[in-house]
Amino acid sequence: MAKFPSTPFDRRNILAGLLALAAPGAASAAQRRTQRPPPSPPPPPVVTVLGDSITAGLGLASNMAMPARLQAALDRIGTPSRVQGFGVLGDTTANGLARVDRVPAETTVCVVALGGNDLLLGTDPSRTKANLRAIISHLKARNIRVVLAGVKAPGLLGVDYARRFTQVYPDLAREQDVFYAPDFFTGVIGVSRYMQRDGIHPNAEGARIIAERLAPVVAKALRA
C-alpha cells in the first residue's frame, strides 16, 4: 500500500490552523486575567452625636431615637452619612469633656448636644462655656468638624441666668468658628404632644423634629 508522507509544509499549515482556532479563546482568557473589578465606593462619612439622655434615646426604640432620626433626615436631603449616637444618661458638659477623647476616630463631624443637665443642676454659665470650649478644642485638635447645638434656658430659672446661659452657645460658636444649630430644642421641650410622660424627654415625634432642625447644619458641616 502506498504511503503519502507528510511534508513540513503540510505540518506548518496544520499548526497554523490550530493556532488560529485557539487564538480567540486565548485572547479572551488573557483579557479576563487583566480585568479588575471596579473599586468599591468610599464609606460614608461618620457623624457622631455627643450628648446626654436625649441623644441616647431614653424611652425610645433605637430606630425612633434622635440619632436614627438624624440619619433619616440626612438621607432625605441626599447627604450620605453614617450617624452614630454617643449619648450617656445624665451627662453634663463636664461629663462630656471627660469622655470627648473617646469619640470614635473615624468621626468626620461631631454634634455637641450638651447643656440640658447643666441647666437642671443650675451650673454657672461660665463653667458650662468653659467645658464646651474645651470639648470643641479637643475635637478640632483631631480634625473633627463640630456642630454646636444651642440650648435655650427657660425664663423661669431667672431672667439673668437664662439670658447668660442661652448666650453661651452663639458666643462660643462665633469664638471657635464652628457650625451652630440654634435652639434646636425650642418648640419641643415643654410641648406635651412632643414629650414623653416624664415631661423631660422627647417622644418619637419630638426626636424627629429635633433631627430635622439639625440635619441642614450637619449637612453643611459634611460638605465643608
Residues with a known catalytic role? 53, 198, 201
**Phi, psi (degrees; rounded to nearest 5) at 65:** -75, 165
CA distance 49 to 84: 6
* SS3 state of residue 12: helix
**Alpha-carbon distance values, 140 to 88, 145, 150, 171 (Å):** 22, 6, 18, 17
- The DSSP code sequence of 181-205 is ETTTTTTTTT-GGGB-TTSSSB-HH
Structural contact between residues 85 and 77, judged by C-beta atoms closer than 8 angstroms: no
Residue with cell 447668660: 164
Query: How is residue 151 annotated by DSSP?
Result: -
d(CA 21, CA 94): 78
Question: DSSP secondary structure string, 92-149?
Answer: -HHHHHHHGGGS-TTEEEEEEE--HHHHHHT--HHHHHHHHHHHHHHHHHTT-EEEEE
